[in-house]
Amino acid sequence: MPSTDTLFNQRIDSRRRRGKVMAGVLFVCTILGLVVLATLIVDVVLTGAPWLSREFITGFPRSTAEASGIWPAIIGSLYLMLVVAAVAVPLGVGAALYLEEYARDNWLARLIQININNLAGVPSVVYGILGLGVFVYLFGFGNSLLAAGLTLSLLVLPIIVISSQEAIRSIPQGVRESAYALGATRSQVIWSHVLPIAMPGILTGVILSLSRAVGETAPLVLVGAALAINFTPAHLLDEFTAIPMLIFQWTEEPGVAFRELAAAAIIVLLAFLILTNLTAILLRNYLEQERSA
Amino acid sequence: MADAKADPQRKPSSSEASSPQTSSPAASNSTASGTGNAPTRKAVPEAPRTLTPGPRQGPQPKTKIEVKDLQFWYGDTHAIKGVTMNIPAHQVTAFIGPSGCGKSTVLRCLNRMNELIPDTRMEGTIRVDEQDIYADEADPVMVRRRIGMVFQKPNPFPKTIYKNITWGAKINGYQGDYEALVEESLRKAALWEEVKDRLHTSAYNLSGGQQQRLCIARALAVKPDILLMDEPASALDPIATAKLEETIVELKQDYTIVIVTHNMQQATRVSDRTAFFYVGELVEMGDTEMLFTRPSDEKTDAYISGRFG
């Protein structure tokens, strides 16, 4: 039988080599991000860890690094997150439900959709200016927890809307149809099926957006969050500070000590984020199990 | 038990002239096929009709659903071009036809499911028990409770077997005993014996065939009197299909059933009457045995003998 090999110039070695090079390049791409992150964390932990102490966690900002603590910022960040969760989550999930389950596919719905997508890309400093103009001055909330919380809510609202929409859209149409076919109204279908099934996906978006809100600095600077205060906010219209604000301030201070203190604050912030994410993930897993049980 | 193969009267050689006209008004406007087509036809219903209990006798059953000049549009696409038909009570009526012929669309008009699809339009009237289900005072939610539906893919809710059945009753404010309702519905769907010890486990643990029978039980739990089935066996293996067909035949004692199927053997096994659709029109409707052995329209003839579709 005549060989067909002569018809092809297969260059198998060079093709194989090319494949190997490709795999190598892609691996470097992957590992680079990880290396940078690891370096950052190692550096921060090495610098900040010696400063972590009970006094640091429960103390108040002072004029010396040795005497300073982060307590009002922890409480401030926690309250901020609660405001965002209370405002942005219901608004965002509500908007997503409306867009997916009620709105007809007309020019208005498309206009709203395009705007939401664009809002997700607006820099946070712009939201800060908006918050300063609207919440601080126009509504007269002052440099308060409420003004900052509402500003951060606006900032994360598009993220919550978009991720909730995706979660709702991924529900097979068959579930809705079979519920309607049993004589269910739209709201019954939504409460009994759409929301429970979409909940894990919605929570993923909520985790992301809360983390984003807690880490933001620029909008807080603009709405005038305090830098160093020696009290924890007592009500929504009180002044406050947050962990990113203290990090921001302490890195500006002269002397090595405050910069090391900032590293310690970063560790606290990271721990804070991990804790919130963990809570949300556990909640999500619980809901997923509940659903399949 | 009538066996199509054994009966010489139904051989293709039988004269076309003796074929009685179907009673369907839609069939009257279609011309009967010439005798020249008859020899090329292969009798499709080769499977023994073991499931249908005896040939029907006595007076014609009363009409349950009356469809008059039904037209339907998806956007600008004119999908249903004037369908008029009567669906008898306590019988199984099969809708057959090639893909895209509109049989599912007609089915979904019967319980106002098509309204949920945006950018669609319907004309014509559909009466159930002489009540116009599209009248202004008719509420689609109320209509759908009375006219249940089983879909192509088994789609139980991600809940327990028990809750799958009680949910529909609960949202409709059922006042009776829920335990009894669950047992009754599952028994009717021939699933009770298989699941009675695990009612509170996830419906997702059931096999495909069991899930589909659960979907039937779920539909029965809201006490409909009509059951619409959209290719209910297309995702099932032959054994599960046989079991499902058996259930369907059982159910016609209590319900009026309309089933869309791609499978012509299935239509011959489960249905009393068959309607053949082609590009948005009802070509022919009649007694199932008659339609499959002596169709009056060339297109029906071509379809059932496998020459297209």
A227 inside domain: yes
pLDDT of B48 > 70? The answer is no
CA B75 distance to own-chain centroid = 26
Question: Distance from A284 to chain B by nearest Cα, in Å?
Answer: 16
Asked which of A10-19, A144-153, B42-51 is least confident by mean pLDDT, the reply is: B42-51
B127 inside domain: yes
Say which of B142, B151, B172 has its CB closest to residue A178: B151
Asked which of A117-126, A278-287, B172-181, B191-200 is least confident by mean pLDDT, the reply is: A278-287
pLDDT of B1 > 70? The answer is no
* DSSP structure class, residue B253: T
Contact A172 B155 (CB under 8 A): yes
pLDDT tens-digit profile of A229-265?
Answer: 778 888 888 888 899 999 998 888 888 888 899 999 9
A176 inside domain: yes
A39 inside domain: no
Percentage of chain A beyond pLDDT 70 is 98
B258 inside domain: yes
Percentage of chain B beyond pLDDT 90 is 67
pLDDT tens-digit profile of A54-68?
Answer: 888 888 888 887 888
Which B-chain residues 119-138 have CB contacts (< 8 A) with chain A?
119
pLDDT confidence of residue A237:
84
pLDDT of B30 > 50? The answer is no
pLDDT of B27 > 50? The answer is no
Contact A193 B118 (CB under 8 A): no
Question: Quick check: B43 and B12 in contact, CB under 8 A?
Answer: yes
pLDDT of B130 > 50? The answer is yes
* DSSP structure class, residue B111: T
Question: Distance from A186 to chain B by nearest Cα, in Å?
Answer: 9
Q: Chain A residues contacting B, CB < 8 Å? A: 104-105, 172, 174-185, 188, 192-193, 196-197, 291-293
Query: Could you give the 3-state DSSP secondary structure of residue B120?
Result: strand
Question: Distance from A113 to chain B by nearest Cα, in Å?
Answer: 18
Residues in CB range of A154: below 8 A, 6 or more apart:
A88, A127, A130, A131
pLDDT of A124 > 70? The answer is yes
Q: Could you give the CA distance from residue B112 to residue B228 in angstroms, rounded to a whole number? A: 12
B236 inside domain: yes
Q: Average pLDDT of A41-61?
A: 89
Give the pair of three-digit tokens for residue A24: 């190598």
Nearest alpha-carbon partner for A109 in A119, A93, A122, A95 = A95
Phi, psi of B215 (to 5 degrees): -65, -35
Q: Average pLDDT of B89-107?
A: 93
- Chain A CB contacts of B145 under 8 Å are 182-183
pLDDT confidence of residue B140:
92
Question: Quick check: B284 and B24 in contact, CB under 8 A?
Answer: yes
Q: Could you give the CA distance from residue A214 to residue A68 in angstroms, rounded to a whole number? A: 21
B185 inside domain: no
Is the pLDDT higher at B224 or at A59?
Answer: B224
- Residue A56 has, within 13 A of its CA and on its CB side, a CA count of 20
Size of interface A-B (CB pairs under 8 A): 72
Q: Average pLDDT of A24-34?
A: 94
pLDDT confidence of residue B184:
94
pLDDT tens-digit profile of A170-206?
Answer: 998 889 999 999 999 999 999 999 999 999 899 889 9
B190 inside domain: no
B260 inside domain: yes
Give the pair of three-digit tokens for residue B125: 């009237």
Contact A192 B167 (CB under 8 A): yes
Amino acid B55 reads: P
- Residue B119 has, within 13 A of its CA and on its CB side, a CA count of 8
Percentage of chain A beyond pLDDT 90 is 55
- What CATH number corresponds to the domain at position A273? 1.10.3720.10
- Chain B CB contacts of A172 under 8 Å are 155
Percentage of chain B beyond pLDDT 70 is 80
pLDDT confidence of residue B212:
93
Query: Could you give the 3-state DSSP secondary structure of residue B94?
Result: strand
Asked which of B23-32, B38-47, B69-78, B86-95 is least confident by mean pLDDT, the reply is: B23-32
B68: β partners = B125
pLDDT tens-digit profile of B262-293?
Answer: 889 999 999 999 999 999 999 999 999 999 99
pLDDT tens-digit profile of B55-86?
Answer: 445 556 789 999 999 999 999 999 999 999 99
pLDDT confidence of residue B59:
58
* CA closest to B221 among chain A residues: A182
Contact B204 A292 (CB under 8 A): yes
Chain A touched by B104 (CB under 8 Å): no
Question: Quick check: B229 and B258 in contact, CB under 8 A?
Answer: yes
Question: Distance from B230 to chain A by nearest Cα, in Å?
Answer: 12
Give the pair of three-digit tokens for residue B109: 């008009």
Residue position matching structure tokens 């599912």: B104
Phi, psi of B122 (to 5 degrees): -130, 145
B291 inside domain: yes
A154 inside domain: yes
Is the pLDDT higher at A61 or at B187?
Answer: B187
pLDDT confidence of residue B3:
43
Most confident of the following: B31-40, B41-50, B119-128? B119-128
User: How many CB atoms sit inside 10 A of residue A278's CB?
Assistant: 11
- Chain A CB contacts of B151 under 8 Å are 174, 177-178, 181
Question: Quick check: B296 and B22 in contact, CB under 8 A?
Answer: yes
A217 inside domain: yes
- The alpha carbon dihedral of B198, B202, B203, B206 has a sign of negative
A98 inside domain: yes
- What CATH number corresponds to the domain at position B42? 3.40.50.300
Chain A touched by B113 (CB under 8 Å): yes
Q: What is the tally of structural domains in chain B? A: 1
Q: Average pLDDT of A72-86?
A: 93
pLDDT, chain B, mean: 83
Q: What DSSP assignment string belongs to A195-258?
A: HHHHHHHHHHHHHHHHHHHHH--HHHHHTT--SS-SS---STTS----HHHHHHHHHHSSSHHH
pLDDT confidence of residue B8:
42
Contact A104 B118 (CB under 8 A): yes
B124 inside domain: yes
Question: Distance from B61 to chain A by nearest Cα, in Å?
Answer: 26
Query: Could you give the 3-state DSSP secondary structure of residue B273?
Result: strand
pLDDT of A134 > 90? The answer is yes
pLDDT of A287 > 90? The answer is no
Q: What DSSP assignment string belongs to B42-88?
A: PP---S---SS-S---SSPPPEEEEEEEEEEEETTEEEEEEEEEEEE
Q: What is the tally of structural domains in chain A? A: 1
Asked which of A5-9, B124-128, B277-281 is least confident by mean pLDDT, the reply is: A5-9
B306: β partners = none
Contact A183 B141 (CB under 8 A): yes
Between the alpha carbon of residue B270 and those of residues A176, A195, B89, B193, the distances in Å are: 28, 39, 15, 23
Domain hosting residue A137, numbered range: 54-60+67-292
Phi, psi of B74 (to 5 degrees): -100, 105
pLDDT of B43 > 60? The answer is no
Domain hosting residue B75, numbered range: 8-12+23-51+61-156+223-304
Q: Could you give the CA distance from residue B272 to residue B169 in angstroms, rounded to a whole number? A: 30
A12 inside domain: no
Q: Could you give the CA distance from residue B9 to residue B46 in angstroms, rounded to a whole number? A: 14
A21 inside domain: no
Cα angle for residues B283, B288, B294 (degrees, 5° grid): 70
pLDDT, chain A, mean: 90
